[in-house]
Amino acid sequence: MKEHIFNDKIILVTGGTGSFGKKFCKIILDEYSPKKVIVFSRDELKQFEMAQLPEFKKYEDRIRYFIGDVRDKERLMRAFSDVDYVVHAAALKQVPAMEYNPSEAIKTNVMGAMNIIDVAIERGIKKVIALSTDKACNPINLYGATKLCSDKLFVAANAYSGDGGTKFAVVRYGNVVGSRGSVVPFFKAKAKEGVLPITDERMTRFWITMEQGARFVIKNFERMHGGELFVPKIPSMNIKDLAKAIAPNCKTRVVGIRPGEKLHEVMISVDDARNTKELNDCYVIAPAFHWWSKNNHSDGKTVADDFCYSSDKNNDWLTIPQLQKMIKE
């Protein structure tokens, strides 16, 4: 097994039955030797179905399923007992649903984040990484706004966890190939009808696989100091190319951008550039607080003042064959 801080430790994943949670759990169980992995989620059926999968059934002596909701602070107190590391992946993330049910998004994505932070400090968790989204940068929909709020909470939490206390960091990345709610399964279903609905032919998105996302989170547990917002260097894709990659013989129909949707996604705004460093595989947005050491991530270089990491201005673009390979994998 690889040397890693996860070895012989207890790791808890909120939203552990989701696409990311399952991939993350599989990697750390296959490649490391954690003492225990706790899957924390509110859906007992998804937990039951996950437990029956061969890749998890063989680890039944090291995996536990804990029913609970991040809205329930008391339940989190029980779940976080003796836990070393936490990955916070639980969220309400369907943009149209959140526009229609804003209070529910706030209860889970904002109040839930506050609960995670309070309980992690109370229980003496060593490190916490929260998952963010490109929609949290310059948000125009409620989902993005709640995740921006969550990001700010996790970064600021380092200020009151104290020296030697819990360290918090955030990972922000773009659209995940094939995740629940992704355009890939949607396009595959629509391909059977012969026509793919496209919001706007100019639309671009950042693109990452679930495997890449999970491994990026694992890597950042080792190098985080607490307070960072990590953004991976990933390619962009054009929605027309994605349509051709999935169903080359289908016609397309432009249906217009939905409420709360952007033409292009941004992961680092110009306003964040002055606090951003570039590493080999990612960018790190440092917190603008006095407790942050300028020597942290000294191997990185400061980006230009006018730097902006947006999907339409990316230097790395996926071709149709590359998209087809990613979708197949």
As annotated, the active-site residues are 135
Closest CA relative to residue 283, chosen from 268, 266, 304: 268
- Say which residues have a Cβ less than 8 Å from residue 204's Cβ, sequence separation at least 6: 236, 237, 238, 239, 263, 264, 265, 311, 312, 314
- Say which residues have a Cβ less than 8 Å from residue 88's Cβ, sequence separation at least 6: 14, 15, 70, 113, 116, 128, 129, 130, 131, 154
Angle subtended by helix axes 210-223 and 19-31, to nearest 10: 60
Q: How many residues does the chain have?
A: 329
Q: What DSSP designation does 258 have?
A: P
User: For the CA atoms of 40, 33, 216, 5, what is the dihedral angle to 10 degrees?
Assistant: 100
Q: Interior CA angle at 124 toward 15 and 134, to 5°?
A: 40
CA distances from 91 to 88, 144, 147, 262, 318 (A): 9, 11, 9, 20, 28
Distance CA 306, CA 304 (A): 5
Closest CA relative to residue 289, chosen from 120, 151, 168, 158: 158
